[in-house]
Structure formats: C-alpha cells, structure tokens
Amino acid sequence: MRLTSGADGFAFDAYRAPATDARRGGLVVIQEIFGVTDHIREVADSFASDGYEALAPALFDRRARGFEGGYDPEGVAKGREVSEATPWDEVAADLQACIAALAPPVFAVGYCWGGSAAWLAACRCDGLSAVSAYYGRRIPELLRETPRCPIILHFGRDDASIPPATVQAVADVYPDIPIHLYDAGHGFASDRRADYRPDAARLARLRTLQLFALNGGGRSEV
C-alpha cells in the first residue's frame, strides 16, 4: 500500500500484513538499515499471526525507493548512507501517517536503525499505546526527548556498536524505562544476521507481546 506524509505530501510504500488471528491492534514495524526486506516482511507477517495488523513503511523511499540492502559490507555501507541522510523530522512524520492508517490501539516495534526510530515515535508521535525498541544505536541522539507512552528497550551485552556506556547513558537519563540485556550481539533477533540468537530473540519477542497486551493489545471479546 502507499501512504502520504503529512509533512511534505510525499507518497511512500508500506508492506501491510492483515491480522490473521483475532485482532489485538495495529502495529508499525520499523525497518533496519537494510530497508523493508524479506526479513522485515516476515516479521510483520509473524505479528499478524498474533493478531496485529502490521504496517512496515519503506522509510528510505525518498532517496532509494524500494531499497533492500544486502548483509554484506556493500549493503551495510549503503544502508548507513541512506539512513544517515534521512532526517528524524521526516521519519516522525512518516511514522505518524502509519499510525493514522491503523485502527487503535496502535503499537510500534523497531530494529537496529528502526529501534532508534521507534524511540523517536514514542517521543513525537500521537496515538501510540506502547513501543518496543531493539538495539537502537542512535537513541542517545534523542535523549532530550521524553517517551510519551510505555516503552521497553532491548540490547545485546556483546554488541560492539552499542557499548555498555551507551546503554548506561540511556539508563541514567531514564532510570524507570525497562532495559533488557541479552547475551548476544547486534541484530540478535534476525535469523539473517551472524549474531542471531534464537533464545534471546524469543525472549525479547515475548516481552514485546506482553508489553502490548498490558497496554490495550488484548483479544477482542465477543
């Protein structure tokens, strides 16, 4: 499907996965630096099977429509280039358009670059009931902004790109926000990544689903 940003009228694509179980709510699935890849589509489908109508917006469409980067050094370099050229104000407006396209309650989950974007959405966007952010390396750029809805954070203890001092800096500013640490590196929730850790991925997902359930994402009653 295609959505329109309220900031500049730009039309960007989004992968939609309708809820295949009793609908619990809407969910914005925010991409890694690699774009809306087959992995991100599978993540959206998996949440749809749990009852969440999922939208995965292509947030790099202005600079590289349909971008799907590989996990090799070239793909990583291109993903970083595009992500760093994408301003947070633009991202927030696009995410707001996604939230508006979903019937409440609406939640968000983000991975890698999307973990930072998920924090951004919790701080700036209206209409979110809860947010789960995975290994958001750039969250420290946004620490002057306060989340307006419940949020949990997931980090790997062995993530070379997010050292313990970075995680502690977030905890120092927001001591009441749950920060979950896993014996894993960066990208531990993705089975496409070398750092994939099934046990950590499963636990983080259970915590994410619990957060959503506690904040309005219960099954509809007949």
Q: Which of 98, 112, 123, 125 is catalytic?
A: 112
For residue 113, give the 3-state DSSP assignment.
helix
Query: Which tens digit of pLDDT belongs to each residue from 106-134?
Result: 999 999 999 999 999 999 999 999 999 99
H/E element holding 20? none
- DSSP H helix total and E strand total for the chain: 7, 8
Q: Which of 50, 94, 123, 186 is catalytic?
A: 186
- Structure confidence at residue 221 (pLDDT): 44
Please, what is the end-to-end C-alpha distance for the chain in angstroms?
30
Q: Which of 50, 61, 94, 159 is catalytic?
A: 159
Q: Is 159 annotated in the active site?
A: yes
- pTM of full prediction above 0.85: yes
H/E element holding 13? strand 11-17
Helices (H), ranges, 101-217: 113-124, 164-173, 198-214
d(CA 175, CA 27): 26
List the domains of the chain with CATH numbers: 2-214 (3.40.50.1820)
d(CA 40, CA 31): 6
Name, in order, each residue with C-beta under 8 angstroms of 206's C-beta and a sequence gap of 6 or more.
Answer: none
CA-wise closest residue to 114 among 130, 127, 131 = 131
- Structure confidence at residue 21 (pLDDT): 83
d(CA 20, CA 39): 19
Residues of the chain with pLDDT under 70: 219-222
Q: Is 8 annotated in the active site?
A: no
CA-wise closest residue to 136 among 196, 61, 189 = 189
Query: Which tens digit of pLDDT belongs to each residue from 76-101?
Result: 999 999 999 999 999 999 999 999 99
- Structure confidence at residue 218 (pLDDT): 78
Q: Is 39 annotated in the active site?
A: no
